[in-house]
Amino acid sequence: MSKARFEQLREQLDQVNLEILEVLNRRAELVSEIGLLKNGKTTERFDPIREKEMLDKVVAANEGPFQNDTIRHLFKQIFQASLNLQEEEKKSLLVSRKTKAADTVITVGPLTIGNGSPVIISGPCSVETPEQMEAVASHLKKEGVVLLRGGAYKPRTSPYDFQGLGVEGLKLLSETAKRHGMVCVSEIVAPEDVEMACEYLDIIQIGARNMQNFELLKAAGNVRKPILLKRGLSATIEELVYAAEYIASRGNSQIILCERGIRTYEKATRNTLDISAVPILKQETHLPVIVDISHSTGRKDIMFPIAKAAIAVGADGLIVEAHNEPAVALSDAKQQLDLPQLSNLLHDLRTSGFLKDAAPVK
Ligand code: PRE
């Protein structure tokens, strides 16, 4: 073979390489778009059936000189590179640590959430009466707790159970909090109520049952109030992150994530607290992460060790339900602490060094 022919062949190969490159990147663009459609869905990225179909078609069209096995191998490499690309692009979510390395710190009235010092959110499961709210709030305030919770819209399993006081409940919660120099959080269940709720609430909660109510998430993304987003009953960590992304993608990055237990076969607790979700969420996102120790366990006797565990793995706060008369509470009577029990829990957490803020008022 002459030297001139050799050079000519290499020049042609250079040209073919560029053509392959162009085709590969055209393929990669399609793969990226498919990846975006798969985001937030439970669909696995890796799709072996689709890969086999594509390999069969390509091998059927192969006229050589490459052997079919070689073609299979080359295309498997392309599929793997495509999966890697989809995975890379997934990580550039707005809520991801890759996008923003610094922790998101949320300031609500006198409270800072996500600055390394865990906060306590407490109050009854449901807002019931002015007397109940006054009794709970005045006790919490004395204990140095400034974030008051109370449900006004209650998504209950049974339609015959107490459904909450609605907007009257929000007003009562808000007035009580203001009277005591506290801030308040409550759950909103309908997208059309989010704007109205901003008038009464300092933080809007999206509950576990609504974690994938995408219209509600969008409405929460459109307002400029912090959102407390609870993990769904059977939601994966990834699905929670995408739910948060729905809010962030609308311009509201003030999001607090909440691990509240997931559904498993275990019956000893109401839900199974997925403690590993806390460090994983802190690692993968820049958002504050709190733990609802009442809903995750559904029992009062293990509050202290569970609270310690949550703080030990990096939780930025705890939700603990408290009621002045839990025995007659209109919802979740079994899991709400009475006020002396709440004081004991806070005292134990403080004296063991787990809680630095929220010192009791002397
Ligand atoms: C693609 C990527 C990974 C899957 O395992 C299968 C196919 C590909 O590269 O063709 C694209 C894709 O994500 C898909 O078709 O679902």
Integer angstrom CA distances of residue 72 from 19, 78, 85, 102, 356: 20, 10, 20, 44, 60
Q: Is the CB of 162 under 6 A from ligand 1?
A: no
Return the biggest CA–CA distance within the chain.
100
Backbone phi, psi, residue 48, to 5°: -65, -30
CA of 357 to the centre of ligand 1 (A): 50
Domain end residue (candidates: 90, 121, 154)? 90
Query: Are 219 and 333 in a shared domain?
Result: yes
Both tokens of residue 105? 């710190």
Domain contains 356: no
Would you say residue 358 has pLDDT above 70?
A: no
CA of 284 to the centre of ligand 1 (A): 24
**Residue with the larger pLDDT of the pair 22 and 163:** 22
Mean pLDDT (the chain) is: 94
**Number of the ligand 1 atom closest to the C-alpha atom of 46:** 5
- pLDDT the model gives residue 40: 59
- pLDDT the model gives residue 155: 78
DSSP classification of residue 148: E
Query: Are 162 and 280 in a shared domain?
Result: yes
**Number of the ligand 1 atom closest to the C-alpha atom of 35:** 13
- pLDDT the model gives residue 273: 97
323/329 Cα distance (integer angstroms) = 7
Atom 6, ligand 1: residue with shortest CA distance: 47
Q: Are the CB atoms for 254 and 227 separated by under 8 Å?
A: yes
Q: Which of 26, 27, 31 to mutate to test the pocket of ligand 1 (most atoms within 8 A of CB)?
A: 31
Would you say residue 41 has pLDDT above 70?
A: no
Would you say residue 360 has pLDDT above 60?
A: no
Domain span at residue 32 reads 3-90
Q: Are the CB atoms for 204 and 188 separated by under 8 Å?
A: yes
- pLDDT the model gives residue 87: 85
CA of 341 to the centre of ligand 1 (A): 54
Q: Is the CB of 50 under 6 A from ligand 1?
A: yes
Query: Are 118 and 245 in a shared domain?
Result: yes
Residue 36 pLDDT class (50, 70, 90 cuts): confident
Q: Is the CB of 83 under 6 A from ligand 1?
A: yes
Would you say residue 62 has pLDDT above 60?
A: yes
**Number of the ligand 1 atom closest to the C-alpha atom of 31:** 11
Residue 115 pLDDT class (50, 70, 90 cuts): very high
Q: Are the CB atoms for 329 and 126 separated by under 8 Å?
A: yes
Percent of the chain with pLDDT over 90: 85
pLDDT tens-digit map of 122-173: 999 999 999 999 999 999 999 999 999 999 998 777 888 878 899 999 999 9
pLDDT tens-digit map of 188-238: 999 999 999 999 999 999 999 999 999 999 999 999 999 999 999 999 999
Q: Which residues pair with 230 in a beta bridge?
A: 258
Q: Is the CB of 205 under 6 A from ligand 1?
A: no
- pLDDT the model gives residue 356: 84
- pLDDT the model gives residue 357: 64
CA of 70 to the centre of ligand 1 (A): 19
CA of 86 to the centre of ligand 1 (A): 9
Residue 42 pLDDT class (50, 70, 90 cuts): low
CA of 24 to the centre of ligand 1 (A): 13
Q: Is the CB of 75 under 6 A from ligand 1?
A: no
Q: Please give the tally of structural domains in the chain.
A: 2
Would you say residue 55 has pLDDT above 90?
A: yes
- pLDDT the model gives residue 78: 98
* 299-303 mean pLDDT: 95
252/319 Cα distance (integer angstroms) = 22
Domain contains 362: no
Percent of the chain with pLDDT over 70: 97
Both tokens of residue 232? 């769904």
Query: Are 66 and 149 in a shared domain?
Result: no
Q: Is the CB of 79 under 6 A from ligand 1?
A: yes
pLDDT tens-digit map of 310-335: 999 999 999 999 999 998 888 877 88
Domain contains 97: no
Domain harbouring 160, CATH code: 3.20.20.70
CA of 83 to the centre of ligand 1 (A): 7
Helix %, strand %, coil % of the chain (to 5): 45, 15, 40
Q: Are the CB atoms for 133 and 173 separated by under 8 Å?
A: yes
Query: Are 115 and 259 in a shared domain?
Result: yes
Q: Which of helix, strand or coil describes residue 127? A: coil
Query: Are 216 and 69 in a shared domain?
Result: no
Domain harbouring 78, CATH code: 1.20.59.10
- pLDDT the model gives residue 183: 98
261/257 Cα distance (integer angstroms) = 13
CA of 82 to the centre of ligand 1 (A): 7
- pLDDT the model gives residue 169: 96
Query: Are 73 and 169 in a shared domain?
Result: no
Q: Is the CB of 82 under 6 A from ligand 1?
A: yes
pLDDT tens-digit map of 242-272: 999 999 999 999 999 999 999 999 999 999 9
